[in-house]
Amino acid sequence: MSRLPFLFLLCFLAALPGRPLAAEAPPDGALAAIESLAQAGAPQLALQQLDQEQPSFDTHPAAWMRWEQARIRILQAQGDWAGIVARAGAAPAEVAPAFRRWLDTQAARAHLALGQPQAARSLLRRLLWSAGEDEAQAFAVWRRLVIRSYLREGRLADARSALLRYRQDYGEGDEAWRLLSGEVLLRSGDADAAWKVLDGLERPQAEPLRLLAGLRSGRLGAKAVLKRARKALEAEDLPAALRASLWDVIAQTKAKVEDRPGRILALERALALSGGRPADALFSADAETLWTAWLDWGQAVGNEAQLLMGQDEAWYFAATEALENRHPLRARVLFAVLGETTTDTHRRDLAHDYLAMLIEDLPDGGDLLLALYLDNPRFPDDLSIPAPIRHRLIDRLLARGDIPRAARLMKTLDRPPAGRDRLDWALRRARVQILAGEVEAGAAVLTGLLDRGEVPDGPALDRLMQVIFDLQKLGEHEQALALLGQVAQRELQPAKRRELAFWTAESEEALGHHARAARLYLFSATALDPFAMNPWAQTARYHAARALADAGFPADAMRQLRRLLAVTKDPARRAVLEHEIRRLQGSAVR
């Protein structure tokens, strides 16, 4: 049931009621620790910490901008382009001009990644018009992004004209010009000229374009292209988008040599890495490309096995046999054919569920699953996505932090997936509703579970408490108190009741019920031992002192602080306690 109590030191450092001093900006080390979380593979946790700890722009604008830059970098690493656009649009109007330009530049890149070249160009025009004389480097970047926006829109003539003007200003030796020029030439069908421009360019971004130019011009054979592409993929810290482009080159090479299984494997990797958003028309593997490749080869495999359309049992047997014989690619394409051709809803759901299971076993399989079923014309609305897939997508969207879309999918489901615990599913449903802003509906689910006695003690109750904690984080303390009151009616172990009292006190305090909160904090501190001074008891007593001071009982608050002072050895903590005692003494005299 319990969350870990706040570290005692943090409790001391939290300002007492009245907050005589403005809150200080968090130290730079706190931001570095959050960025380390993202680098360690926990970007959602890092973003949650940013939400909780980012300084206020009103009081610490410089610190806010440093933290916001870190947030944008994390979103970029995740490929959350929509999130970047949203943050840029919501930034305070008073941010420093240089930071506003940096933010708009990142938003323009995000618009391009989202396939929104006109929106990107609108931002870039504003940046170009407002550029100062000291921004020559940024000016060149914005011009290159304008050229990319024309390419994304298929306006090759405009891209060539803008590129010509760029060359006149920056010369042909400019690496950025060579990269763009090679792309424009490839898009225009002149692969040989593109090869000449790109050959020798050291930038990693040049390799996919160079390999494609070599393949299409005949200057490189298929074996050489595959060898160089795989060598390039060995590089560490290669951005996901660049990896996706290299896998796309491999897929195009495999298509040229008519290696259909090899092409499918490469398409799966490219799509998983790009999230279904290809870099541009040259590297255009998308969800429909992969679906078509699966179905084409699956039907060929079926023909070889003399399987007829409409014989669902035979297709199902062939797919499961391939799975048992450890031929997962063969199984994937057969399940894809069965899922997309059967007219039986149950068999369709079963085939897609097997396919999804196999997809999730692949590297970055969760991202591939999202790309294949979301925003895909093959599944024009949520209800057209098979129900087992919707359940899997909800899990993936929650892990990614996309609560609105998870909630939208959850509304289309009225029962848990086969084999899933009903209670676990109901708690997940409640949590999604609460985080999506449907607080009353989510709280009603929890109330019903408790009323019907469907939440046994132990791990199940702990999971329910986690959803109540979500209510508290959102400031929905009245709803949280009602549910905590229901839990309090149960037969609980003393340690659990002690914890419950602490979390109830938090909500009471947030609602301004300070005396009630103080009683609960003190109960939590003394429930197991009236003289306890372990970390839990010290934390609860410190919170009790804060609530007592707010309730108008400064003498009682000082009494709690003096008891804490008597058992505290750390000089910094003692200094904080002594300062708070003096402050309360001063307020009592006045």
Residue 15 has what pLDDT?
34
Q: Are 315 and 307 in contact (CB under 8 A)?
A: yes
pLDDT tens profile 448-466: 999 999 999 899 999 999 9
The pLDDT mean for the chain works out to 89
DSSP state of 115: T
Q: Are 83 and 405 in contact (CB under 8 A)?
A: no
pLDDT tens profile 552-580: 999 999 999 999 999 988 888 888 888 88
Tell me the helices (H) and strands (E) count for the chain, helix number first: 31, 0
DSSP state of 368: H
Bridge partners, residue 257, by sequence: none
Q: Which of 368, 375, 292, 367 is nearest to 333 (CA)?
A: 292
pLDDT category at 26 given cuts 50, 70, 90 is low
Q: Are 140 and 165 in contact (CB under 8 A)?
A: no
Q: What is the enclosing helix (H) or strand (E) of 93?
A: none
Phi and psi based region of residue 364 (left: phi greater than 0; alpha: psi -120 to 50; beta: remaining): left
pLDDT category at 174 given cuts 50, 70, 90 is confident
d(CA 329, CA 335) in angstroms, rounded, equals 10
DSSP state of 388: H
- In percent, the amount of the chain with pLDDT more than 70 equals 94
**Residue bearing the bigger pLDDT, 174 or 381:** 381
Residue 24 has what pLDDT?
52
Considering the domain boundaries, does residue 385 fall inside one? yes
Q: Are 507 and 472 in contact (CB under 8 A)?
A: yes
Residue 28 has what pLDDT?
61
Residue 16 has what pLDDT?
34
**Residue bearing the bigger pLDDT, 317 or 200:** 317
Residue 589 has what pLDDT?
53
Q: Are 465 and 458 in contact (CB under 8 A)?
A: no
d(CA 332, CA 294) in angstroms, rounded, equals 8
Bridge partners, residue 376, by sequence: 379
At what angle are helices 387-400 and 345-360 packed, to 10 degrees?
30
Q: Are 478 and 510 in contact (CB under 8 A)?
A: no
d(CA 576, CA 387) in angstroms, rounded, equals 56
Considering the domain boundaries, does residue 483 fall inside one? no
Identity of the highest mean pLDDT range in 43-52, 474-483, 529-538: 474-483
Q: Which of 44, 8, 75, 2 is nearest to 541 (CA)?
A: 8
Q: Are 264 and 293 in contact (CB under 8 A)?
A: yes
Residue 1 has what pLDDT?
54
Q: What is the DSSP secondary-structure string of 281-341?
A: TTB---HHHHHHHHHHHHHHHHHHTT--TT-HHHHHHHHHHHHHTT-HHHHHHHHHHHHHH
Distance from the first to the final alpha carbon of the chain: 43
**Residue bearing the bigger pLDDT, 43 or 125:** 125
Considering the domain boundaries, does residue 537 fall inside one? no
The total number of residues shown for the chain amounts to: 590
**Residue bearing the bigger pLDDT, 14 or 399:** 399
Q: Hey, what amino acid is at 13?
A: L
Residue 35 has what pLDDT?
87
Residue 399 has what pLDDT?
82
- In percent, the amount of the chain with pLDDT more than 90 equals 66
d(CA 392, CA 152) in angstroms, rounded, equals 32
Number of domains into which the chain is organized: 1
Residue 3 has what pLDDT?
56
Residue 384 has pLDDT above 80, yes or no: yes
Residue 109 has what pLDDT?
94
Considering the domain boundaries, does residue 535 fall inside one? no
Containing domain of residue 339, as a range? Answer: 240-420
Largest CA distance in the chain: 95
pLDDT category at 585 given cuts 50, 70, 90 is confident
DSSP state of 376: B
Considering the domain boundaries, does residue 92 fall inside one? no
Backbone angles phi, psi at 79, to 5 degrees: 75, 25
Residue 417 has pLDDT above 90, yes or no: no
Considering the domain boundaries, does residue 342 fall inside one? yes
Residue 268 has pLDDT above 50, yes or no: yes
Backbone angles phi, psi at 376, to 5 degrees: -125, 125
What integer is the mean pLDDT of 491-495?
90
Burial class (CB in 10 A: 0-12, 13-18, 19+), 493: exposed
Residue 44 has pLDDT above 90, yes or no: no
d(CA 399, CA 369) in angstroms, rounded, equals 13
At what angle are helices 156-170 and 136-153 packed, to 10 degrees?
160
Residue 6 has what pLDDT?
39
Residue 14 has pLDDT above 50, yes or no: no
Residue 257 CA to chain centroid, in angstroms? Answer: 38
Q: What own/partner pairs with CB < 8 Å and gap ≥ 24 does 314-317 have?
A: 315/342, 316/347, 316/350, 316/351
pLDDT category at 38 given cuts 50, 70, 90 is confident
Backbone angles phi, psi at 171, to 5 degrees: 85, 165
- pTM comes to 0.78
Considering the domain boundaries, does residue 117 fall inside one? no
What integer is the mean pLDDT of 518-527?
95
Residue 528 has pLDDT above 50, yes or no: yes
Number of Cα atoms under 13 Å in the Cβ half of residue 491? 2
pLDDT tens profile 134-166: 778 888 899 999 999 999 888 999 999 998 898
CA distances from 585 to 542, 558, 559 (A): 17, 8, 11
Considering the domain boundaries, does residue 250 fall inside one? yes
DSSP state of 345: H
d(CA 388, CA 504) in angstroms, rounded, equals 38
